[in-house]
Structures are given as C-alpha cells and as structure tokens.
Chains A and B, each alone.
Chain A
Amino acid sequence: MQVHIIVVGLNHRTAPVEVREQFAFADRELPMALRQLKQMKSIMECVIVATCNRTEVYAVVDRHHLCGHYIRSFLEQWFKLPRQQFTNHLYMYEDDRAIEHLMRVASGLDSMVIGETQILGQVRNAFLLAQEQKTTGTLFNMLFKQAVTLAKRAHTETMIGETAVSVSYAAVELGKRIFGRFQNKTVMIIGAGKMSELTVKHLYANGASRVIVVNRTYERAAALAGKFNGEPRTMDEAAGLLHEVDIVISSTGSDGYVLTREMMEPVMKRRASRPLFLIDIAVPRDLDPTIATIQNTFLYDIDDMEGIVESNLEQRRREAEKIEAMIAEEMADFKQWYKTLGVIPLIRTLQEKAAAIHQETMESMFNKLPDLDEREQKVIRKLTKSIVNQLLSDPIQRIKEMSGDKRSDEAMDMFVKLFALEEPLEQAKAAERLAEKEAVASLHALKPHNTAQVNARPAHAAVNGRTAVVT
C-alpha cells in the first residue's frame, strides 16, 4: 500500500488576518481536533500546527487525491465555515513538497520574519501533542523529529537568527557593539512613541539597570516610567542628568532639536572616556546631527536604523540559502530511510527464523552429544551462530540496497519467497494487529470521559470521518 504525506493549510502569505483568525484552534480543542481528524477516512497519521500566522494540517494518507477534500471538509465542519470562504486561501502540498515545506517551516524560512526561532518550539509542541494523542505513527515520528533536529542545527550552524530585523532590536544590537552588556547602564527616553517605548523595553529586558523617562508632561513620563521601574523627569531636569546616561532614545514631536551640539559638548567632557549612544527615531529629527562629530558619541537616526535592519534581512536571506542546502540533504536522508522501511520487517523476520532454526539445531545436537561440557557447548553455539550470521549478512545487505531501486517491490517479494518467510510474516502481522487492538482498547478503558467531551460539543458530534465524507 502506497502512502503519501500531505499538508493543507493557510498562512500569513495566503490569507489575511481576518481569515486566519477564523481558523485559530484553541489549545484545549487541539487534542479533540487531532483525534477526530485521525478518525477520518484515509488519514493514517496527523499533526496540526496552529500559530498566529499559520494553521496547517499534516497528514499521512493512503490516497492523496481525495484526502485534500476530506481535510477541507474537516476544517469546514470544525470551524463552521462554508468552503467557498476559505478554499482560495488554502494551499496543499504532497510528498516531497510537503516534507520540504515542513522543514522550511520548522527552520523559520517560511515565517513572516525569516529565521525567527519561535516557530521551532511551536512545531515541536504540535508534534508532541499529536504523539501524546497517538495520532502519529512511524512516518511522522521520524519526519517531525528530523525536522526539529534540522531546525536546531540550522540555528546553531548559521547566523540566521542572530541578527536584528526590527528597529528596536537593531538598537539593542548596536548597543551591544558599543557596551557589550547593559548591566549598570542608564537609558533615557525622551518623548513617547511606540518604537522608542519598544526599544527601551528591549534594553530593559537585556539588563539596563536604570531608565529615565523624560516628557514635557510629567504625568505622561510617570505613566511610561512605571512600566520599567523608571524615573520620570521633565525636560529641564533631564539636561542635568545627561552625563549619567549611556543611551538616549528620542522620539518627540518637536520641530526643533531637543539636544544640540552645544548642550552635549560639556556633557561628554564630564563623561570622560564613557561612550554615549544616541538613537533619534523622530521625524523631523530631535537630535542635532553635528552631535555625531563629538568624540565618543554614536548617533543613529531612523534611516540609519532601517538601513541596519535591511542589511540584516539581506544577511538572513543569504543564511537561508545555507539552510536550503541542509534541507535538501535531510530530505534525501528521509527518503532513503523511507525506502528501507518496507524491508525492515522482512529482515527482522528472517533473523528471527534463523535464530529459531539455530536454537532448534543446537538443542538437537546437545541431546545427541550429552557429554559435551559447558565450555564446548558455548564454543559450538558461538561458531554455529557466526556461520548463520555470515550467511545472512550478504542477502540482508543486498535487500537493503535493492529497497531503494525502482523494482524494490519485486526484490522484496523474491526475498520473501526465497527464504520462505510468508508464514512467519503473516504471524508477525497478526501479532501486531492484536497488540494495536489491545492498545486502543486499553486507551478507551483508561479515558471514559472522552465520550462525555465529544457529546459536550453537539455541533461536532456528527463530525466523524464517515459522516464528513457523505456530506
């Protein structure tokens, strides 16, 4: 039976936020959604990755032509939305493309901000939840682990996540080039603005020990200072504190310069060898550009900051190319592993059969030669085992190699016939089916409240794989 891996979903590129927010899974609903999805026809394994920027259903299916339809039906039923409203926003990838997509998503290459690392944790958690709900199997257990490992390696071996791609983070990055660490550093924020507030927030989170908030209106300064354990000051008071400040962030609506060169020269004399980092986010600019000519000052305006962000984004794109190469390697490894999947039960069965024959022969021999001591028995057992292993070594190696060929199915059939493995294989499959039934039965026995949960959602009670198919 040929199986396929598919992914159906929507993300920030294919759907605007008004559509995406309608496809948000609440955390508490995900376990049930997974179980219901698994019950659908042809779905053998499934994982749901739901974040603020994407909702994706990954599935292992036994026929891909209709499974896209089944998954769309599931989404339709679950979110109570007519298909026409969202079908244009959905994408669907199969097999190689689906595997590649998962790896790109986990590595952050498909994110709104390329190279972001949060998605890795989200993919990992989605997989772990699905594993807990037993909606994953051999394929996804391998694929998701491989994708997560690859993403970790990508972040370690490249610099993709290390550069700032927003103005506020770029300010932190610049600050680190000047100061290294922000412990014992004082930040002054002049005026109020979302970007400057965000910058101070990042600096504070990175260890800045003192925050001074300056505003024409004391009350506004106090309100903002409260967020950072800071000190509110008026503009007049601020001038007397400049020599204590290491980082100044300015974003006022002032027409003229808030800080001039004449004001800063005596300040820098007082600061002696300590550098001063000034960030001017305002338009028109708040800080006199000639301040930059004073020794030991580093003045950056909004254009400079955006230039840094653009340069960093460009670098991330270059690092992404390295990761694409890593993805290609991982995909080849996965496909190689997948090809050998079918051959493993055959090899195991052959080895078990050989071990059984060996054991039987040894018992028969020891009955016929009762005078052999323990050491002699051990030596004979070891040598005969070695003969068996050596004889089997080449056929096993060959069948592994042939499993990757075009005619692998024929090769495996021949392997089964040559070694008369039909009966042992059947027995092994029967044992596996029995074990699975017992596992499912014990799961149902342990969680009787599942039925109550399903009944609690009358709108979805009718949604099971077969009903969805019929509608």
Chain B
Amino acid sequence: MITNNMLYDIMIYVYALSLLFYFSDAADASWRAKRIGTGLLIFVWILQTGYLIYRILLHLHLEVYALFEYLFIFSWLLVTISLVMSRFFRLEYVVFFANVVGFVVLVLNLLTKPGVLIPLGNGELSRTLLYLHIVLISCAYAMFTIAMILSCMYLFLHRGLKRKRWSKTMKRLPSLEIMDRYVFRLVVTGLPLLVLSLAVAVTAIIIDGKITLLLDFKVFSSLFAVVAYFYYMFQRTVLRQSGVKTAIWNIAAFVLLLSNGFANSLSRFHNWLS
C-alpha cells in the first residue's frame, strides 16, 4: 500500500497502468494499448468523480476548504478534458502528457494529503465567492496546462519539419496549424476564467473588508500572469506573429502562471503552500 487508503491506492495503481498503456501506444502505435489505456482512465475518472461528489457533500456546510480538495479537482479536470479529447480528437500525445501532469498532481496530493485549510471567509457571500474563485482558477489552470503541452508539441514538430527529421512520432502529431489553433482556443477560454477568478477573489477581499490585501504580492503576481497571457493574445491576433514565437510566449506565460502558484509563501494571505 502506497497510502493507507484502499481507494487512493486503487486510483494511483490504475492511473499508472493507464499511463503505461498510453505510453506503449505513444511509443509504437497500438490500437489495443490505446483502448485499454482509455478504459482504465475512464475507471479512474469514475473513482475520482465519485470521491469528489462525496467530498463536496461532506463539506457543504463547512467554512473551510482544504488544499487537498483543490488539487484533487485540478487532477480530475485534467482527466476529464483528456477523455473528451481522446473521444473527439486524435491527440494521443496531448492526452498522454496531460495525464502525466494529472497523475503527478494526484500522487503528490494523495501521498502528502496537504491538510492546509483554506479559510473561505467570514460571510456567506464571501464564502460563495471564494468557492467560485477556486472552481474558476482550477478550470483556467487546466486549460493553460493543456495549452502549454500543445505549445511544446508545436515546437517539437516545427523543429522536426524544419530539420527534415521525419519520424513515426511526427506523423502522429496533430498538424502545426491545428495545434496553434487549439492553443489559441484554450487560451481564449482560460484567460477569461482566470480574469473572472481574480475579479471574484478581489470582490471577496473587498466584501471581507480587507482592502489592504489588494496590495499583496499575490495580487500583483496574478496580474502579471494575466498580462502575460494577454500579450500572447496580442502577438497572435494583432501582431500576427509566427506560430513558433507565439508558442514560446505561451510556454513563458505558463511558467509565469506556475511560478505565481508556487510563490504563495510571499503572500500575506494566499500562503497555503508555505
């Protein structure tokens, strides 16, 4: 047993097995391996969904929310999006890498069980706003994670095509144009979610009467991340830069976003990960 909980162990083992099959398909196209991997992933999703519903019902009337649940939601979102992609699009590598991220987050989450409580504010409205903030930011992070994976794949394929290094892997990647288009759509979806989540958080702070927190490091770093993604949009739509440049900028924006997530220790109030 990795954790002391049978359900967690099953989730980890089955998720790992699913990844092994996806890896097998990625390494040497195998329709069977992909089917088995997808089947196992669906099973993981069912377990995660059931557990998530249980946790939500359990915490309906609680005033606190643990970091564990937040990370669990993020991992669940990645699995959900990857299953949808697997069903409707031929994006095997994206599904694989998205699930690698999801698996790492899940394992770390289940092993460490970060019990850090995220207080949801004093009033009913404040609590609701913070719930909304958490949901929106989770969705935004999931979108941006997949956009980042696609940008990395874009750069890989672009390099291969430029250097004329033809391989089986390149044949299985989506085209440059499609990847560029999906990255853009993911950012177009994720950016308003990110902006909304920040707006909701700011509103919650104001309602709580802690206006001085608006000058906190976290608020500024979050704004930097928003600006970075807006700049990506500006490069893509107004300057019409090449796909390589926009892909690099998208990755940079994601790194900034991730750093923002890990820099919570510098914040006076948003320091769950310290």
Interface residues of A (CB under 8 A from B): 156-159, 162-163, 173-174, 176-180, 272-273, 275, 292, 295-296, 298, 300, 304, 307-308, 311, 315
Contacts and interface: CB of A to CB of B under 8 A. Distances in A.
Contact of B161 (A156, A174, A180): A174
Contacts of B167: 311
Contacts of B171: 159, 162-163, 173, 177
A273 B166 contact: no
B37 interface: no
Contacts of A180: 174-178
A180 B243 CA distance: 14
B243 A179 contact: no
Given A174-B161, A296-B242, A311 B166 contact: yes
Contacts of B240: 272-273
A176 B172 CA distance: 11
B175 A178 contact: yes
A296 B244 CA distance: 8
5 contacts: A157-B32, A178-B161, A180-B175, A300-B164, A311-B167
B31 A179 contact: no
A433 to B, nearest CB: 46
Interface string B245-272: 0100000000000000000000000000
B242 A177 contact: no
Nearest to B164: A304
A157 B31 CA distance: 6
Nearest to B243: A273
Nearest to A170: B166
Nearest to B178: A180
B172 to A, nearest CB: 9
B241 A178 contact: no
Nearest to A295: B242
Contacts of B236: 273
A308 B165 CA distance: 9
B157 interface: yes
Contact of A177 (B31, B176, B241, B244): B176
A307 B164 contact: yes
Interface in B56-89: none
B135 interface: no
Contacts of B243: 273, 275, 296
Contacts of B200: none
Contacts of B157: 177
A316 to B, nearest CB: 11
Contacts of B177: 178-180, 275
A388 B266 CA distance: 83
B168 A315 contact: yes
B175 A295 contact: no
A292 B161 CA distance: 11
Contact of B176 (A158, A178, A292, A300): A178
A255 B226 CA distance: 54
A176 B175 contact: yes
A273 B242 contact: yes
B170 interface: yes
Interface string B109-138: 000000000000000000000000000000
Contacts of B31: 156-157
Nearest to B244: A295
Contacts of A179: 175-177
B29 interface: yes
B173 interface: yes
A308 B166 CA distance: 6
Contacts of A307: 164, 166
Contacts of A304: 164
A174 B241 CA distance: 22
Given A178-B176, A272-B240, A296-B242, A159 B170 contact: no
Contacts of A174: 161
B164 to A, nearest CB: 5
A275 B175 CA distance: 12
B210 interface: no
Contacts of B241: 272-273
B263 to A, nearest CB: 33
A115 to B, nearest CB: 14
Given A179-B176, A273-B243, 18 more contacts: A159-B168, A177-B157, A177-B161, A177-B171, A178-B177, A180-B174, A180-B176, A180-B177, A180-B178, A272-B242, A273-B236, A273-B240, A275-B243, A292-B162, A295-B244, A296-B243, A296-B244, A311-B166
Nearest to A273: B240
A232 to B, nearest CB: 28
Contacts of B246: 273
A109 to B, nearest CB: 18
Contacts of A296: 242-244
A152 to B, nearest CB: 13
Contacts of A158: 29
Contacts of A173: 171
B170 A177 contact: yes
Contacts of B175: 176-180
A176 B173 CA distance: 10
Which 5 pairs across A and B sit closest by C-beta, in order of nearness?
Answer: A180-B175, A272-B240, A180-B178, A273-B240, A296-B242
A61 to B, nearest CB: 38
A178 B161 CA distance: 8
Contacts of B170: 177
Contacts of A308: 166
Contacts of B29: 158-159
A158 B171 CA distance: 14
A176 B31 CA distance: 22
A43 B243 CA distance: 66
Contacts of B166: 307-308, 311
Nearest to A268: B242
Contacts of A315: 168
A296 B243 CA distance: 8
B7 to A, nearest CB: 35
Contacts of B164: 300, 304, 307
Interface in B145-185: 157, 161-162, 164, 166-168, 170-171, 173-178
A174 B164 CA distance: 10
Given A177-B161, A177-B171, A308-B166, A275 B32 contact: no
Contacts of A157: 30-32
